[in-house]
Structure 1
Amino acid sequence: MSFDFVEFFYLLLRLIAAFLLSFPVAWEREQSTRTMGLRTFPLVAMASCGYVLVASAVVGSGSEQQARIIQGLISGIGFIAGGAILKQGGGVHGTATAASIWTTGVIGAAVAYQDYEIAVVVSLINFLTLRLLTPVERKTGKPDRPKNESPNTES
């Protein structure tokens, strides 16, 4: 078995695409909270992409096997995302970050399957939801974090 530089370059481009498409969400979360941010989101996207790429190479494109791969990714990313949800006092925060981790996994998987349109749309909608709806939530009186916590501080 020889090393295929063309295939290597092609796979590297997909991993870079997963990284880049997750970066707007990572940047927004880094600005809003330090729970998860610039490192976590791109790593989740690249890992999702990588797992799908490896699994596709091993099991092929059969729909049943691919469904199991996605099922495992959903569960695994959900476990990571669960770490972002914190209960403090009578409230819970971090749910938007947790949901964003999940969508970042979708971005990576979509890139691996070469569904770039899905990856771009999910990235864009996730970013815009975080950026545009947070001020709307604040105007309705619902704080996005406990009153004693300010942005960019760890609790």
Structure 2
Amino acid sequence: MQPLTTLDIALRLGAALVVGALVGIERERKQRPAGFRTMILISLGSCGFMLAGVQTIADLPSTGQAEVSRILQGLMSGIGFLGAGAVIQNKKAVRGLTTAAAVWVTAAAGAMCGFAEFILAGMLAVFTLFTLIILERVENKYFPEPHDEKDRNGDHSLAAAKLRGDAEEVIIVRDWNKRE
């Protein structure tokens, strides 16, 4: 295998930038923790690691393929830790799992660009965007999250006041709950 030319490297990094930007734009529009630049950097970084692996195959054909496998394994594990930074858990819910998964998938697309698998990376980006944009609408329609805001007494006075837009009543209900 021949070492990569500067043009090959630029093309692969450019494709990784585009794939990361596509996912990043969607995440940024929804104001998620990992947005536009973060997704680009994740994709570029993954591509860079894979380019190092491709160069290793060119330089050391007998051991290079095993090294690429190790790079992929380390990359996917490391990206899992990075994605975990987007996950927030509180008493009621876990948030950020979709962003964490988007981080992981964007890394995979970047790695594919490193191998010059542009069609595969592009298809992954399209399916990722389909999942993040179109399937979100399906999920919201058929599997809505409950938005119950019961006060401590079990009634819905706070939620009802919010729905009516009665800010004064919201304050009164909150103050009442604090006294108890």
Same fold (TM over 0.5): yes
Q: Does 1:7 align with 2:9?
A: no
Q: Tell me, which stretches of 5 or more residues in structure 2 are unaligned?
A: 150-180
Post-superposition Cα deviations, 1:89-117, rounded to whole Å, max 9, x if no partner, equal 22111111111111101111101111112
Residue 121 (structure 2) aligns with:
119
Residue 103 (structure 1) aligns with:
105
* Equivalent pairs, count: 142
How far apart in 2 are the matches of 1:30 and 1:144?
Answer: 25
Q: Does 1:68 align with 2:70?
A: yes
> What percent identity do the matched residue pairs reach?
33
TM-aligned CA distance change 1:18 to 1:70, over 3 Å: same
Residue 150 (structure 1) aligns with:
none
The answer to whether the 8 A contact 2:83-2:99 is kept is yes
**50-59 or 12-21, which moves further after superposition?**
50-59
Residue 49 (structure 1) aligns with:
47
Flag the structure with larger Rg: 2
The answer to whether the 8 A contact 1:49-1:112 is kept is yes
The answer to whether the 8 A contact 1:93-1:144 is kept is no
Q: RMSD value over aligned CA atoms?
A: 2.3
Displacement, 1:23? 1.5
After superposition, residues 21-36 of structure 1 pair within 5 angstroms as 21-36=19-34
Q: Does 1:18 align with 2:20?
A: no
The answer to whether the 8 A contact 1:30-1:36 is kept is yes
TM-score (norm 2): 0.72
TM-score (norm 1): 0.82
Residue 152 (structure 1) aligns with:
none
Amino acid at match of 2:19: L
The answer to whether the 8 A contact 1:46-1:108 is kept is yes
Displacement, 1:63? 3.1
Amino acid at match of 2:73: Q
Higher relative contact order (CA 8 A, sep 6+): 1
Displacement, 1:85? 0.9
Displacement, 1:141? 4.2
Displacement, 1:67? 1.1
How far apart in 2 are the matches of 1:41 and 1:144?
Answer: 30
